[in-house]
Structure 1
Amino acid sequence: MKIIVVSDTHMPKRAKSLPKKLTEALKTADLIIHAGDWQTIDVYNELSSFAPVEGVYGNVDGEDVKSRFEQKKVLDINGYRIGIVHGHGQKGSTEKRALSAFSEEMVDVIVYGHSHIPIKKMVGDLLLFNPGSATDKRRQKKFSFGMITINGELHAEHIYYEDKQ
């Protein structure tokens, strides 16, 4: 199974369309996960033309997105539990808020966004994964999204690129 992971697309404010590097990967996706800050439901509609989409809402999302998605979600996929949350809030770092959101649940992976910083690291037996942003790199050197493959084992990686066109 190939899962494309995105967050913080902020469309149409930060981009008028999905970057070509991302759309090429989406063509072969079995599932798409969006970790919030879509900005409009149009992003969901576009992503849905490639593969089924799961996700959560973020702090800049309007009622159209909030009525379609929850604040956090757990997916059971091929024997792995993947928690999804945007990571916004008041106390602690984005990473700590993401971890806290699933402190009462057993998950193998936490996918989160908000910071626009690509992160892949283990916290004990838990994989913490932030795809960065495909359209708003902020202070990062490159734009990014994530890819999780599950083929018996789970593997996560970032896809980096310089041009969001």
Structure 2
Amino acid sequence: MKLLLTTDTHVPRRARLLPEQLLSAVDAADVVFHAGDWVDEATLDLLLARSRQLVAVHGNNDGPALRARLPEVARAEVAGVRFAVVHETGGARGREERCERQFADTDVLVFGHSHIPWDTTSAGGLRLLNPGSPTDRRRQPDCTYMTATAQGGALTDVVLHRLPQRGRG
């Protein structure tokens, strides 16, 4: 199963549209994970229409309409891998241990909020993935998203994709 992981799209605040490279990856994915901060319902509707399966949550910048449509925590099992999705995990210090306690029945936790790509594994084996943001790089060199493969109870081929910056030649 081909997976796409994204978060913090912030449309239309940070970008008017999602990058075409991200949308092509959505089209190619079997499952799309979005860890919140959509900002507008049109982006949610777009990903619902384009994705085969969407596993998504709301973020701290999402208003009442998005909060009514999306949970704070989402869970899914894909090809034998148990996923949880949440927007915020708190500060980086102690993140693995804190999340391992909170998501003890999970193999992979997808999260966002910081716009900083993150890929670590806790002592107990919980994989934590933050794909960064495809529209708002903040202090990062590039806007990003992730792809991965889930099969036979394992997550493999986790790749951080860097998007070209607008206005560069």
Please give the residue correspondences for 1:107-122 in structure 2 after superposition, counting only pairs within 5 Å.
107-122=106-121
* Corresponding position of 2:161: 159
User: Does the 8 A contact of 1:116 with 1:138 survive in 2?
Assistant: yes
Count of matched residue positions in the alignment of Structure 1 and Structure 2: 162
Larger mean CA deviation between 24-33 and 59-68 belongs to 24-33
Please give the residue correspondences for 1:20-31 in structure 2 after superposition, counting only pairs within 5 Å.
20-31=20-31
**1:43-65, CA deviations, whole angstroms, 9 ceiling, x for partnerless residues?**
11111222121111110101111
The two structures, once aligned, show a CA RMSD in angstroms of 2.0
In the alignment, does 2:55 pair up with 1:54?
A: yes
Please state whether the residue corresponding to 2:55 is helix, strand or coil.
Answer: strand
The residue type paired with residue 116 of structure 2 is I
User: Does the 8 A contact of 2:55 with 2:75 survive in 1?
Assistant: no
**1:43-91, CA deviations, whole angstroms, 9 ceiling, x for partnerless residues?**
1111122212111111010111101111112211111111110016xxx
The residue type paired with residue 121 of structure 1 is T
* Corresponding position of 1:93: 91
Q: Are the structure 2 counterparts of residues 132 and 12 from structure 1 closer, same or farther at C-alpha, using a change threshold of 3 Å?
A: same
Any gaps of 5 or more consecutive residues in structure 1?
Answer: none
* Corresponding position of 1:142: 142
Q: Are the structure 2 counterparts of residues 16 and 95 from structure 1 closer, same or farther at C-alpha, using a change threshold of 3 Å?
A: farther
1:162 CA displacement: 2.3
User: Does the 8 A contact of 1:44 with 1:53 survive in 2?
Assistant: no
Q: Could you state the TM-score of these two structures normalised by the residue count of structure 2? A: 0.87
Q: Are the structure 2 counterparts of residues 77 and 57 from structure 1 closer, same or farther at C-alpha, using a change threshold of 3 Å?
A: same
**1:18-54, CA deviations, whole angstroms, 9 ceiling, x for partnerless residues?**
1011112112111111101000111111112221211
Q: Could you state the TM-score of these two structures normalised by the residue count of structure 1? A: 0.89
Instruction: Give the Cα separation in 2 of the matches to 1:4 and 1:20.
Output: 14
Instruction: Give the Cα separation in 1 of the matches to 2:165 and 2:46.
Output: 20
Instruction: Give the Cα separation in 1 of the matches to 2:96 and 2:56.
Output: 14
* Corresponding position of 1:5: 5
